[in-house]
Amino acid sequence: MLGAARRQLGSGPMLGQVLRRLRPAAAASAEAARGYSTGAKEITVRDALNSALDEEMSADPSVFLMGEEVGEYQGAYKITKGLLDKYGPDRVLDTPITEAGFTGIGVGAAYQGLRPVIEFMTFNFSMQAIDHIINSAAKSNYMSAGQINVPIVFRGPNGAAAGVGAQHSQCYAAWFAHVPGLKVLAPYSSEDARGLLKAAIRDPDPVVFLENELLYGESFPVSDEVLDSSFALPIGKAKIEREGKDVTITAFSKMVGYALQAAEILSKEGISAEVINLRSIRPLDRAAINASVRKTNRLVTLEEGFPQHGVGAEICMSVVEESFEYLDAPVERIAGADVPMPYAANLERLAVPQIEDIVRAARRACYRAVPMAATA
Protein backbone atom coordinates (compact mmCIF):
# COMPACT_ATOMS: atom_id res chain seq x y z
CA MET A 1 0.00 0.00 0.00
CA LEU A 2 2.72 2.49 0.93
CA GLY A 3 4.47 1.96 -2.37
CA ALA A 4 1.65 3.81 -4.08
CA ALA A 5 2.30 6.83 -1.93
CA ARG A 6 5.75 7.18 -3.44
CA ARG A 7 4.25 8.24 -6.72
CA GLN A 8 3.48 11.90 -7.20
CA LEU A 9 -0.16 12.65 -7.76
CA GLY A 10 0.60 14.36 -11.01
CA SER A 11 2.36 11.49 -12.73
CA GLY A 12 1.70 7.82 -13.26
CA PRO A 13 -0.87 5.80 -11.31
CA MET A 14 -2.15 7.88 -8.43
CA LEU A 15 -2.80 6.90 -4.86
CA GLY A 16 -6.52 6.81 -5.43
CA GLN A 17 -6.22 4.36 -8.32
CA VAL A 18 -4.28 1.96 -6.15
CA LEU A 19 -6.68 2.34 -3.24
CA ARG A 20 -9.93 2.37 -5.23
CA ARG A 21 -10.60 -1.23 -4.37
CA LEU A 22 -11.02 -0.05 -0.76
CA ARG A 23 -14.12 1.91 -1.69
CA PRO A 24 -17.41 0.25 -0.68
CA ALA A 25 -19.92 -0.59 -3.69
CA ALA A 26 -27.83 18.92 13.32
CA ALA A 27 -28.40 22.43 13.55
CA ALA A 28 -27.97 24.02 16.98
CA SER A 29 -30.14 26.85 18.25
CA ALA A 30 -28.98 30.43 17.54
CA GLU A 31 -26.50 31.81 20.03
CA ALA A 32 -26.54 35.42 21.15
CA ALA A 33 -23.70 37.80 21.89
CA ARG A 34 -21.07 36.04 19.80
CA GLY A 35 -17.74 37.60 18.97
CA TYR A 36 -16.25 37.08 15.52
CA SER A 37 -14.77 38.90 12.54
CA THR A 38 -16.72 41.86 11.28
CA GLY A 39 -18.18 41.25 7.85
CA ALA A 40 -21.31 41.62 5.80
CA LYS A 41 -21.43 38.03 4.60
CA GLU A 42 -22.43 35.07 6.75
CA ILE A 43 -21.42 31.48 6.09
CA THR A 44 -22.03 28.31 8.03
CA VAL A 45 -19.27 26.37 9.73
CA ARG A 46 -20.04 23.55 7.28
CA ASP A 47 -19.42 25.82 4.26
CA ALA A 48 -16.31 27.28 5.88
CA LEU A 49 -14.80 23.81 6.25
CA ASN A 50 -15.86 22.81 2.72
CA SER A 51 -14.34 25.91 1.15
CA ALA A 52 -11.10 25.44 3.07
CA LEU A 53 -10.77 21.87 1.81
CA ASP A 54 -11.64 22.92 -1.74
CA GLU A 55 -9.11 25.74 -1.87
CA GLU A 56 -6.29 23.73 -0.33
CA MET A 57 -6.91 20.83 -2.72
CA SER A 58 -6.91 23.26 -5.63
CA ALA A 59 -3.67 24.90 -4.50
CA ASP A 60 -1.75 21.70 -3.67
CA PRO A 61 -2.18 18.48 -5.67
CA SER A 62 -0.63 16.46 -2.84
CA VAL A 63 -3.71 17.08 -0.65
CA PHE A 64 -6.30 14.30 -0.75
CA LEU A 65 -9.26 13.20 1.36
CA MET A 66 -10.01 9.76 2.73
CA GLY A 67 -12.71 8.36 4.99
CA GLU A 68 -16.13 6.77 5.22
CA GLU A 69 -18.74 8.31 2.89
CA VAL A 70 -16.59 11.34 2.00
CA GLY A 71 -17.14 10.83 -1.74
CA GLU A 72 -20.30 9.37 -3.23
CA TYR A 73 -22.43 10.37 -0.23
CA GLN A 74 -20.81 13.85 -0.14
CA GLY A 75 -19.75 13.34 3.47
CA ALA A 76 -21.77 12.14 6.45
CA TYR A 77 -22.23 15.80 7.44
CA LYS A 78 -21.79 17.17 3.88
CA ILE A 79 -18.44 18.77 4.69
CA THR A 80 -16.94 17.22 1.53
CA LYS A 81 -19.92 18.06 -0.69
CA GLY A 82 -18.97 18.52 -4.34
CA LEU A 83 -15.32 17.58 -3.92
CA LEU A 84 -15.59 14.12 -5.53
CA ASP A 85 -17.11 15.66 -8.67
CA LYS A 86 -14.44 18.34 -8.80
CA TYR A 87 -11.32 16.33 -7.97
CA GLY A 88 -12.29 12.77 -8.81
CA PRO A 89 -11.94 9.43 -7.00
CA ASP A 90 -8.13 9.61 -7.03
CA ARG A 91 -8.22 12.41 -4.47
CA VAL A 92 -11.52 11.84 -2.67
CA LEU A 93 -11.45 8.26 -1.45
CA ASP A 94 -14.37 6.38 0.07
CA THR A 95 -13.21 3.65 2.43
CA PRO A 96 -14.73 0.66 4.19
CA ILE A 97 -15.62 0.98 7.86
CA THR A 98 -12.08 0.32 9.02
CA GLU A 99 -10.50 3.29 10.77
CA ALA A 100 -7.34 1.35 11.59
CA GLY A 101 -6.88 0.55 7.91
CA PHE A 102 -7.41 3.90 6.22
CA THR A 103 -5.70 5.88 9.01
CA GLY A 104 -2.59 3.72 8.64
CA ILE A 105 -2.64 4.18 4.87
CA GLY A 106 -2.93 7.93 5.39
CA VAL A 107 0.05 8.05 7.74
CA GLY A 108 2.11 6.03 5.25
CA ALA A 109 1.14 8.44 2.48
CA ALA A 110 2.22 11.37 4.65
CA TYR A 111 5.59 9.70 5.18
CA GLN A 112 6.06 9.89 1.43
CA GLY A 113 5.24 13.58 1.12
CA LEU A 114 1.50 13.57 0.41
CA ARG A 115 -0.91 15.56 2.58
CA PRO A 116 -3.84 13.34 3.59
CA VAL A 117 -6.93 14.68 5.32
CA ILE A 118 -8.48 11.76 7.19
CA GLU A 119 -12.12 12.10 8.21
CA PHE A 120 -13.56 10.23 11.18
CA MET A 121 -17.35 10.09 11.19
CA THR A 122 -16.94 10.84 14.90
CA PHE A 123 -13.74 11.05 16.93
CA ASN A 124 -15.10 8.28 19.10
CA PHE A 125 -14.20 6.00 16.16
CA SER A 126 -10.63 7.33 16.12
CA MET A 127 -9.97 4.97 19.02
CA GLN A 128 -9.84 2.20 16.41
CA ALA A 129 -6.86 4.03 14.87
CA ILE A 130 -5.16 5.34 18.01
CA ASP A 131 -1.93 3.41 17.40
CA HIS A 132 -1.42 5.03 14.00
CA ILE A 133 -2.19 8.51 15.34
CA ILE A 134 -0.02 8.31 18.45
CA ASN A 135 2.77 5.82 17.76
CA SER A 136 3.19 6.46 14.04
CA ALA A 137 2.08 10.00 13.21
CA ALA A 138 2.94 11.83 16.45
CA LYS A 139 6.29 10.23 17.26
CA SER A 140 7.96 9.69 13.88
CA ASN A 141 9.49 13.15 13.50
CA TYR A 142 11.22 12.90 16.88
CA MET A 143 12.25 9.27 16.46
CA SER A 144 13.76 10.01 13.05
CA ALA A 145 15.73 13.00 14.37
CA GLY A 146 13.64 15.30 12.20
CA GLN A 147 14.15 13.35 8.98
CA ILE A 148 10.49 12.34 8.63
CA ASN A 149 7.66 14.85 8.54
CA VAL A 150 4.09 13.64 8.83
CA PRO A 151 1.84 16.32 7.27
CA ILE A 152 -1.55 14.76 7.98
CA VAL A 153 -4.86 16.09 9.32
CA PHE A 154 -7.29 13.97 11.32
CA ARG A 155 -10.66 15.75 11.34
CA GLY A 156 -14.28 15.12 12.26
CA PRO A 157 -16.92 15.86 14.92
CA ASN A 158 -15.87 15.62 18.55
CA GLY A 159 -17.77 15.75 21.82
CA ALA A 160 -21.46 15.65 22.58
CA ALA A 161 -24.09 15.87 19.85
CA ALA A 162 -27.67 15.12 20.91
CA GLY A 163 -29.21 11.80 21.90
CA VAL A 164 -26.45 9.57 20.57
CA GLY A 165 -25.34 7.93 23.81
CA ALA A 166 -22.00 7.39 25.52
CA GLN A 167 -20.13 5.79 22.62
CA HIS A 168 -20.72 8.73 20.28
CA SER A 169 -20.47 11.69 22.66
CA GLN A 170 -17.01 11.84 24.21
CA CYS A 171 -14.68 14.81 23.95
CA TYR A 172 -11.13 13.74 23.10
CA ALA A 173 -9.43 17.14 23.34
CA ALA A 174 -7.52 16.25 26.51
CA TRP A 175 -6.60 12.80 25.18
CA PHE A 176 -4.84 14.06 22.08
CA ALA A 177 -3.49 17.22 23.75
CA HIS A 178 -1.58 14.95 26.13
CA VAL A 179 0.68 13.72 23.32
CA PRO A 180 3.91 15.48 22.23
CA GLY A 181 4.15 15.59 18.46
CA LEU A 182 0.47 16.34 17.84
CA LYS A 183 -1.15 19.71 17.32
CA VAL A 184 -4.77 19.87 18.48
CA LEU A 185 -7.21 22.48 17.18
CA ALA A 186 -10.86 23.10 18.10
CA PRO A 187 -12.72 25.73 16.03
CA TYR A 188 -15.82 27.60 17.16
CA SER A 189 -16.86 30.05 14.44
CA SER A 190 -16.75 29.99 10.64
CA GLU A 191 -13.60 32.12 10.80
CA ASP A 192 -12.01 29.56 13.11
CA ALA A 193 -13.08 26.62 10.97
CA ARG A 194 -11.79 28.08 7.72
CA GLY A 195 -8.58 29.62 9.02
CA LEU A 196 -7.54 26.79 11.29
CA LEU A 197 -8.27 24.00 8.78
CA LYS A 198 -6.18 25.76 6.15
CA ALA A 199 -3.35 26.13 8.66
CA ALA A 200 -3.67 22.47 9.64
CA ILE A 201 -3.45 21.23 6.04
CA ARG A 202 -0.38 23.39 5.36
CA ASP A 203 1.37 22.36 8.59
CA PRO A 204 4.28 19.88 8.35
CA ASP A 205 3.17 18.01 11.47
CA PRO A 206 0.13 15.84 12.32
CA VAL A 207 -2.88 17.89 13.38
CA VAL A 208 -5.97 16.64 15.20
CA PHE A 209 -8.86 18.89 14.13
CA LEU A 210 -11.81 18.63 16.52
CA GLU A 211 -15.08 19.94 15.09
CA ASN A 212 -18.53 19.98 16.70
CA GLU A 213 -21.51 18.42 14.96
CA LEU A 214 -23.97 20.90 16.46
CA LEU A 215 -21.99 23.85 15.07
CA TYR A 216 -21.98 22.70 11.43
CA GLY A 217 -25.24 24.48 10.62
CA GLU A 218 -24.43 27.64 12.60
CA SER A 219 -23.85 30.81 10.56
CA PHE A 220 -21.28 33.46 11.47
CA PRO A 221 -20.34 36.72 9.74
CA VAL A 222 -16.95 36.69 8.00
CA SER A 223 -14.82 39.46 6.54
CA ASP A 224 -13.35 39.67 3.05
CA GLU A 225 -9.98 38.81 4.60
CA VAL A 226 -11.35 35.52 5.93
CA LEU A 227 -12.78 34.66 2.51
CA ASP A 228 -9.45 35.25 0.76
CA SER A 229 -7.84 32.03 -0.43
CA SER A 230 -4.56 32.91 1.29
CA PHE A 231 -6.21 33.32 4.70
CA ALA A 232 -5.02 31.13 7.55
CA LEU A 233 -5.00 31.50 11.32
CA PRO A 234 -1.85 30.94 13.39
CA ILE A 235 -1.74 27.67 15.30
CA GLY A 236 -1.21 28.17 19.02
CA LYS A 237 -2.94 31.55 19.32
CA ALA A 238 -6.16 32.13 21.25
CA LYS A 239 -8.71 34.84 20.44
CA ILE A 240 -10.33 37.21 22.89
CA GLU A 241 -13.95 37.01 21.75
CA ARG A 242 -15.17 39.52 24.32
CA GLU A 243 -13.09 41.86 26.46
CA GLY A 244 -13.79 42.23 30.16
CA LYS A 245 -12.18 43.30 33.43
CA ASP A 246 -13.77 41.26 36.24
CA VAL A 247 -13.37 37.57 35.34
CA THR A 248 -11.72 35.49 32.60
CA ILE A 249 -13.68 32.63 31.02
CA THR A 250 -11.73 30.19 28.82
CA ALA A 251 -13.56 27.87 26.43
CA PHE A 252 -13.23 26.06 23.11
CA SER A 253 -15.52 24.72 20.41
CA LYS A 254 -19.26 24.93 21.15
CA MET A 255 -18.63 26.08 24.72
CA VAL A 256 -17.37 29.44 23.43
CA GLY A 257 -20.93 30.28 22.41
CA TYR A 258 -22.18 29.32 25.85
CA ALA A 259 -19.50 31.48 27.48
CA LEU A 260 -20.49 34.48 25.36
CA GLN A 261 -24.15 34.06 26.31
CA ALA A 262 -23.18 33.80 29.97
CA ALA A 263 -21.06 36.93 29.65
CA GLU A 264 -24.05 38.82 28.28
CA ILE A 265 -26.15 37.75 31.27
CA LEU A 266 -23.36 38.69 33.68
CA SER A 267 -23.00 42.13 32.10
CA LYS A 268 -26.56 42.93 33.18
CA GLU A 269 -25.48 42.18 36.74
CA GLY A 270 -22.48 44.48 36.55
CA ILE A 271 -19.91 41.72 35.98
CA SER A 272 -17.59 42.29 33.01
CA ALA A 273 -16.43 38.89 31.73
CA GLU A 274 -13.57 38.39 29.30
CA VAL A 275 -14.15 35.37 27.04
CA ILE A 276 -11.14 33.60 25.52
CA ASN A 277 -11.68 31.25 22.58
CA LEU A 278 -8.72 28.89 22.94
CA ARG A 279 -8.83 27.71 19.29
CA SER A 280 -5.63 25.73 19.87
CA ILE A 281 -5.54 23.11 22.64
CA ARG A 282 -1.99 22.04 21.86
CA PRO A 283 0.00 24.24 21.73
CA LEU A 284 -1.95 26.16 24.35
CA ASP A 285 -1.75 29.97 24.34
CA ARG A 286 -0.62 30.24 27.93
CA ALA A 287 0.56 33.81 27.43
CA ALA A 288 -2.90 35.03 26.42
CA ILE A 289 -4.60 33.18 29.27
CA ASN A 290 -2.21 34.48 31.91
CA ALA A 291 -2.30 38.02 30.56
CA SER A 292 -6.08 38.00 30.88
CA VAL A 293 -6.03 36.57 34.40
CA ARG A 294 -3.49 39.18 35.47
CA LYS A 295 -6.00 41.80 34.29
CA THR A 296 -9.21 40.28 35.70
CA ASN A 297 -7.72 38.46 38.72
CA ARG A 298 -10.26 35.64 38.35
CA LEU A 299 -10.59 32.54 36.19
CA VAL A 300 -13.40 30.22 35.10
CA THR A 301 -12.45 27.34 32.79
CA LEU A 302 -15.10 25.69 30.63
CA GLU A 303 -15.11 22.44 28.64
CA GLU A 304 -17.48 19.61 27.68
CA GLY A 305 -15.03 16.83 28.51
CA PHE A 306 -14.56 14.91 31.72
CA PRO A 307 -13.04 16.94 34.59
CA GLN A 308 -10.18 14.66 35.62
CA HIS A 309 -6.93 15.46 33.76
CA GLY A 310 -8.90 17.78 31.48
CA VAL A 311 -8.03 20.88 29.48
CA GLY A 312 -9.36 23.04 32.30
CA ALA A 313 -7.07 21.33 34.78
CA GLU A 314 -4.05 22.18 32.61
CA ILE A 315 -5.16 25.81 32.32
CA CYS A 316 -5.65 26.02 36.09
CA MET A 317 -2.14 24.69 36.69
CA SER A 318 -0.65 27.12 34.17
CA VAL A 319 -2.24 30.05 36.01
CA VAL A 320 -1.15 28.71 39.41
CA GLU A 321 2.42 28.38 38.14
CA GLU A 322 2.64 31.75 36.38
CA SER A 323 0.02 34.08 37.87
CA PHE A 324 -0.95 32.75 41.28
CA GLU A 325 -0.22 36.03 43.07
CA TYR A 326 -2.69 37.82 40.79
CA LEU A 327 -5.67 35.66 41.75
CA ASP A 328 -8.28 37.26 44.00
CA ALA A 329 -10.52 34.19 44.13
CA PRO A 330 -10.23 30.42 43.75
CA VAL A 331 -10.24 29.16 40.16
CA GLU A 332 -13.61 27.78 39.04
CA ARG A 333 -13.61 24.73 36.75
CA ILE A 334 -16.70 23.75 34.75
CA ALA A 335 -16.65 20.44 32.88
CA GLY A 336 -18.88 17.58 31.85
CA ALA A 337 -20.11 15.19 34.51
CA ASP A 338 -17.68 12.43 35.46
CA VAL A 339 -19.92 9.74 33.97
CA PRO A 340 -20.43 8.19 30.52
CA MET A 341 -22.92 10.28 28.54
CA PRO A 342 -26.51 9.28 29.36
CA TYR A 343 -28.93 8.62 26.51
CA ALA A 344 -32.03 10.07 28.20
CA ALA A 345 -32.44 13.73 27.20
CA ASN A 346 -33.02 15.01 30.74
CA LEU A 347 -29.90 13.27 32.04
CA GLU A 348 -27.87 14.29 28.99
CA ARG A 349 -28.54 17.93 29.76
CA LEU A 350 -27.31 17.44 33.31
CA ALA A 351 -24.13 15.78 32.04
CA VAL A 352 -22.86 18.72 29.96
CA PRO A 353 -22.22 22.32 31.06
CA GLN A 354 -25.09 24.77 30.69
CA ILE A 355 -25.12 28.55 30.50
CA GLU A 356 -26.48 28.84 34.02
CA ASP A 357 -23.50 26.82 35.32
CA ILE A 358 -21.12 29.39 33.85
CA VAL A 359 -23.09 32.30 35.30
CA ARG A 360 -23.08 30.74 38.76
CA ALA A 361 -19.34 30.03 38.62
CA ALA A 362 -18.55 33.59 37.56
CA ARG A 363 -20.72 34.94 40.36
CA ARG A 364 -18.84 32.79 42.86
CA ALA A 365 -15.51 33.97 41.52
CA CYS A 366 -16.66 37.58 41.87
CA TYR A 367 -18.17 36.91 45.32
CA ARG A 368 -21.66 37.68 44.03
CA ALA A 369 -23.15 34.23 44.75
CA VAL A 370 -25.91 33.85 47.31
CA PRO A 371 -24.64 31.63 50.18
CA MET A 372 -26.27 28.21 50.15
CA ALA A 373 -27.39 28.68 53.75
CA ALA A 374 -29.44 31.69 52.74
CA THR A 375 -31.42 29.60 50.25
CA ALA A 376 -32.26 26.83 52.71
Active-site residue list: 99, 168
Segment (H or E) for 293: helix 286-296
Which residues have C-beta within 8 Å of that of residue 340, sequence separation ≥ 6? 166
β-bridge mates for residue 93, sequence order = 66
Measure the CA–CA gap between 2 and 108, rounded to whole angstroms. Answer: 6
Query: Cβ of 147: how many Cβ atoms within 10 Å?
Result: 8
Q: Coil, strand or helix: which one is 141? A: helix
DSSP assignment of 1-34 equals -HHHHTS-TTSSS-HHHHHGGGS---PPPP-SS-
With 0-12 / 13-18 / 19 or more C-beta atoms within 10 angstroms meaning exposed / middle / buried, residue 317 is: exposed
Give the distance from CA 181 to its chain's centroid. 17
Binning the chain into helix, strand and coil, the percentages to the nearest 5 are 40, 15, 45
Query: What one-letter code names the amino acid at 306?
Result: F
Segment (H or E) for 142: helix 140-143
- Are 83 and 31 in contact by the 8 Å Cβ rule? The answer is no
- Are 210 and 159 in contact by the 8 Å Cβ rule? The answer is yes
Please state the three-class secondary structure of 109-133 as a single string.
Answer: HHHCCCEEEEECCCHHHHHHHHHHH
Measure the CA–CA gap between 322 and 226, rounded to whole angstroms. Answer: 34
Our CA dihedral for 9, 13, 18, 21, rounded to 10 degrees, sits at: 110
Query: What one-letter code names the amino acid at 209?
Result: F
Q: Coil, strand or helix: which one is 301? A: strand
Angle at 36 between CA 32 and CA 40, to 5 degrees: 95
Measure the CA–CA gap between 108 and 152, rounded to whole angstroms. Answer: 10
